Amino acid sequence: LAIGPVGAPEATVDGFVAQYLRNLNFDRGVTLSASTANDRFYALAYTVRDYLVARWLEGVRRYRASDRKAVCYLSAEYLLGRQLDNNLLASGLSDIAAEALAQCGVDIEELRAQEVEPGLGNGGLGRLAACFIDSLATMSVPNVGYGIRYEYGIFRQTFEDGRQVEQPDSWLELGSPWEFPHPEAAQTISFGGSTEKYDDGGVTRSRWVPAWSVQAVPYNYMVPGYQNGRVNTLRLWSSRANHAFDLSVFNAGDYVEAVRAQTFAENISKVLYPEDSTAQGKELRLQQQYFFVAASIRDFIDVVLPEDFDLTRLPERAIFQLNDTHPVIGVPELMRILVDEKKMEWDAAWAVTQQCFAYTCHTLLPEALEVWPIDLLGRLLPRHLEIIYRINEEFLLAVRERFGDDEARIRDMSIISPDGAVRMAFLATVAGSKVNGVAELHSQLLREKVLPAFDEFFPGKFTNVTNGVTPRRFVRLANPELSALITEAIGDGWLTDLERLRELEPFADDADFRTAFGEMKAANKRRLAATLQARDGLTIADDHMLDVMVKRLHEYKRQMLKLLHIVTAYDRIVSGEVEASSVPGRTFVFGAKAAPGYDMAKRIIHLINAVGSVVNDDPRVEGRLKVLFPPNYNVTLAERIIPAADLSEQISLAGKEASGTGNMKFALNGALTVGTDDGANVEIRELVGDDNFFLFGMSEPEVEALWARGYTPAEFAEKDAGLGRALDLIGSGAFSGGDASVFAPIVSNLMNDDRFMVLADYTSYIAAQDRVDDAYTDTAAWQRSAVLNVARSGFFSSDRSMRDYIDRIWHTEPLG
Ligand code: 26Q
């Protein structure tokens, strides 16, 4: 009888075929000839799984036998993308699987298309978490990713008459072959009720008497490292009704109430909130946060750590990394476990807690900093609120000791705001051993503008870790042609040591290499064209520059600025200022979802589509300008679009984009960036060099200076005739069949308010785009720049980000 893991199937084509057919028969219960595409996809996924499982179980055993510190990454979002190709690549089975399926007469492309991506995130923050766990597995660092198994991920976007319409993302409709549910390991998570004091052998203690509870069921997912035999775990929690609770209601005879209770419990993990900035104080959202964080911390203490582990030593074994403020309720939860349940002294518990947490901030927008009204928090988690009060009291006492009774400072630093809300970023900063921003500029502004008093009070607590992206998914899998070119030139070590891309620099001056590079871009454009044709019936001209802006729709990201450029380019042609035939062909590609309640963002989506229909159909343009806006931008589509791009649009108002990670993916795939001095653009430009980056717009200090002087957007519209005309066209109904009212709110917002200074940066942006047009005519020089972008972007690997977290924050090591 096998006590350890059963060995993997033989890693040969025959071994794969045998396992594949076994899975079709025994797991799907079908023969190959009677199978559906979904059956064949499932059997393939199961087969890949079968090769990884033994290593996974062995890794878990080795970790438990060690006393290594694990990284517990707490994130409300993981935007994983499809798993099949990633897992094939990680296990080194891509070629074997292709050959095996060919032998069975199965079309692997058809099976790839079956996989529904788990869209369990909104954008950058969720995708970052997915890149990080990929890198940790590849670097053999013990890690559990903890999060929520939303039944519905980010909505599926469709357009009706150019307007965004949201459809539910029922990604689990046909099940997921990658998950391992463990209902037997469910945990009880409690809510509500009250607190009470009680006598514990002469000591007065507090305890929580909750009112209701739900079950948290773990679903495990494998996170394989890149060809290193290491498989980490992603553990996502799903909510279920608590059966004990059900039973009491059943016994009381209220069947309908019992069933309703079940629905209520299952609501907690039902749906991902599609907002990605403005926290809105929704009770269900706080339930989600506490639900997954409480289950995760308990899981680590009760299940992962040995029984009877001495929790004063928890910091030696665990670091809980807080991905933004969403999991910060874990701070009072750990305190509650240590003080109330384990009966530790407050000070000792606080020392443990402070060492166990670290906090990553992903924003600078004040409206995006999460706060929870105390009445809501007190109703849902009364004991946690008490603990937060005590943390705040002791913290403010220490502030007074240091700075005297400076009441203004006390008010500014209090975790409880004057209007009675818990400021989660403050709580995270006070509790965390480290606080980091996600790019150099962002970390600097975080220290100097957002939390200066905390920086002064906690010297050495603030640090920077610039974001990164996984080269396995975003170069190797998304861009196999470029990967082959690179490997041919410099060998294959770059995939796990991305700085080695530097060795490509000399090839920028090699005409043959540049030609091959150009052919790679052309092939990727054809591949994208085929995808968009099949998916949306869109076409791309072969000879166009591909100018891409893909990211969430936000006013600060300034899709409007891009749109003003397009309208200006259009206006120059139709007004006769330039000959259509002299205009270099450009296809503008947008991808963007708007939060369903974000009215201005939705209007801008409508306007992009409206401009697209007019520009694309106007014969005077002679096809020189095209606007494409495929709906439902997601990880799968990103993997097609980014490798085909020539120009990457990173045009946020300086000081607003914390980092950006799309910017890194484009540079690594050989697109040139037109961008502001914002987020990680600053570092990209420093690395690739001024000559290989189109910088425009105000710097962050210039933005501040303009606000201080007084910003009057209308003045900018008067000074620049092109801008005035573009705004007039939009405002007059040129893109809305003459109905001026549709887009008037956008124009009036820009003319009268313009919080993100679109008009102030317009002139500089148009000048940068004219430089882009010029530069693109010199193909050799453009390709040289593109190659240098690839060669000099190795810094942006998430492996490097992970090394930085390990060195500066986690102080853990790989498990050899
Ligand atoms: C909070 C409360 C209630 C509902 C939703 C939210 C919520 C959800 C998601 C708030 C924020 C987010 C996501 C934020 C995000 O993606 N930020 C981006 O993080 C990237 C990774 O660090 C950066 O590169 C981007 O600059 C930053 O915008």
The one catalytic residue among 230, 551, 565, 626: 551
Q: Tell whether the model's pLDDT for residue 605 goes beyond 90.
A: yes
What is the CA(565)–ligand 1 centre distance, in A? 27
Q: Whole-number mean pLDDT of the chain? A: 96
The ligand 1 site (C-beta within 6 Å) comprises 122-125, 128, 273, 275-277, 279, 285, 362, 370, 438, 467, 657-661, 679
What pLDDT score was predicted for residue 257? 75
Total-model pTM = 0.97
| Alpha carbons 338 and 390: distance in angstroms, whole number | 15
| Alpha carbons 49 and 54: distance in angstroms, whole number | 9
What is the CA(156)–ligand 1 centre distance, in A? 19
pLDDT band at 366 (very low <50, low <70, confident <90, very high): confident
> How far is C-alpha 709 from the chain's CA centre?
36
Give the Cβ contact number of residue 264 at 10 Å: 13
What is the CA(512)–ligand 1 centre distance, in A? 42
pLDDT band at 6 (very low <50, low <70, confident <90, very high): confident
- For ligand 1, atom 12: residue with the closest CA: 276
User: How many angstroms separate the first and last alpha carbons of the chain?
Assistant: 29
What pLDDT score was predicted for residue 351? 98
pLDDT band at 816 (very low <50, low <70, confident <90, very high): confident
What is the CA(412)–ligand 1 centre distance, in A? 24
Which atom of ligand 1 is the closest one to the Cα of 438? 22
What is the CA(706)–ligand 1 centre distance, in A? 27
In this prediction, the answer to ipTM > 0.95 reads yes
The one catalytic residue among 661, 673, 676, 812: 661
What is the average pLDDT across 194-217?
96
613 SS3 class: helix
729 SS3 class: helix
552 in active site? yes
Q: Tell me: the pLDDT tens digits for 397-432? A: 999 999 999 999 999 999 999 999 999 999 999 999
Q: Tell me: the pLDDT tens digits for 88-101? A: 999 999 999 999 99
What is the average pLDDT across 491-506?
98
Pocket mutation for ligand 1, best pick of 120, 324, 465, 663 (most atoms within 8 Å of C-beta): 324
CATH number of 471-796: 3.40.50.2000
Q: Which residue has the tokens 């220490």?
A: 398
What is the CA(133)–ligand 1 centre distance, in A? 18
What is the average pLDDT across 461-467?
98
Contact 551, 635 (CB under 8 A): no
Pocket mutation for ligand 1, best pick of 79, 122, 155, 467 (most atoms within 8 Å of C-beta): 122
Ranges of each domain in the chain: 67-82+117-466+803-810, 471-796
Cβ-proximal residues to 625 (8 Å cutoff; 6+ apart), any chain = 566, 569, 570, 573, 583, 585, 586, 588, 615
What is the CA(264)–ligand 1 centre distance, in A? 27
What is the CA(551)–ligand 1 centre distance, in A? 12
Stated as kind and residue range, the H or E segment containing 444 is helix 440-445
What pLDDT score was predicted for residue 249? 62
Q: Tell whether the model's pLDDT for residue 389 goes beyond 80.
A: yes
**Residue of 326, 355, 511 lying closest to 424 (CA atoms):** 326
What is the CA(671)–ligand 1 centre distance, in A? 25
**Residue of 57, 50, 71 lying closest to 139 (CA atoms):** 71
Q: Tell me: the pLDDT tens digits for 139-157? A: 999 999 999 999 999 999 9
Q: Tell whether the model's pLDDT for residue 248 goes beyond 80.
A: no
Contact 692, 788 (CB under 8 A): yes
Give the Cβ contact number of residue 647 at 10 Å: 23
- For ligand 1, atom 24: residue with the closest CA: 660
Pocket mutation for ligand 1, best pick of 154, 363, 664 (most atoms within 8 Å of C-beta): 363
- To 5 degrees, how large is the angle CA 606–CA 608–CA 613? 95
What pLDDT score was predicted for residue 106? 98
Stated as kind and residue range, the H or E segment containing 147 is strand 143-148
In our burial notation (b when 16+ CB lie closer than 10 A, e otherwise), range 362-394 reads bbbeeebbbbbbbebbbbbbbbbbbbbbbbbee
Q: Tell me: the pLDDT tens digits for 285-337? A: 999 999 999 999 999 999 889 999 999 999 999 999 999 999 999 999 999 99
551 in active site? yes
Stated as kind and residue range, the H or E segment containing 603 is helix 599-617
Which atom of ligand 1 is the closest one to the Cα of 121? 9
- For ligand 1, atom 11: residue with the closest CA: 276
Which atom of ligand 1 is the closest one to the Cα of 77? 9
Which atom of ligand 1 is the closest one to the Cα of 661? 24
> How far is C-alpha 185 from the chain's CA centre?
28
The one catalytic residue among 665, 685, 784, 792: 665
The one catalytic residue among 69, 127, 473, 552: 552
What is the average pLDDT across 706-734?
98
Q: Which residue has the tokens 């000099």?
A: 792
Pocket mutation for ligand 1, best pick of 154, 276, 676 (most atoms within 8 Å of C-beta): 276
What pLDDT score was predicted for residue 338? 98
Cα→Cα distances 94→44, 53, 118, 477, 479, Å? 12, 17, 21, 11, 15
Pocket mutation for ligand 1, best pick of 74, 79, 125 (most atoms within 8 Å of C-beta): 125
811 in active site? no
602 in active site? no
Q: Per mean pLDDT, which range of 85-94, 119-128, 250-259 is the poorest?
A: 250-259
| Alpha carbons 460 and 482: distance in angstroms, whole number | 41
| Alpha carbons 781 and 537: distance in angstroms, whole number | 34
pLDDT band at 263 (very low <50, low <70, confident <90, very high): confident
**Residue of 671, 711, 635 lying closest to 474 (CA atoms):** 635
What pLDDT score was predicted for residue 246? 59
- For ligand 1, atom 25: residue with the closest CA: 660
pLDDT band at 748 (very low <50, low <70, confident <90, very high): very high
Stated as kind and residue range, the H or E segment containing 463 is strand 462-464
What pLDDT score was predicted for residue 281? 76
Q: Tell whether the model's pLDDT for residue 227 goes beyond 80.
A: yes
What is the CA(321)–ligand 1 centre distance, in A? 15
- To 5 degrees, how large is the angle CA 362–CA 550–CA 671? 100
What pLDDT score was predicted for residue 591? 98
Which atom of ligand 1 is the closest one to the Cα of 285? 3
Q: What would the two tokens of residue 752 be?
A: 């009268």
Q: Tell whether the model's pLDDT for residue 245 goes beyond 60.
A: no
What pLDDT score was predicted for residue 260? 76
What pLDDT score was predicted for residue 687? 98
* Of the options 3.30.9.10, 3.40.50.2000, 3.40.50.9100, 1.20.20.10, the CATH number for the domain spanning 67-82+117-466+803-810: 3.40.50.2000
Identical fold for domains 67-82+117-466+803-810 and 471-796, yes or no, is yes
- For ligand 1, atom 13: residue with the closest CA: 276
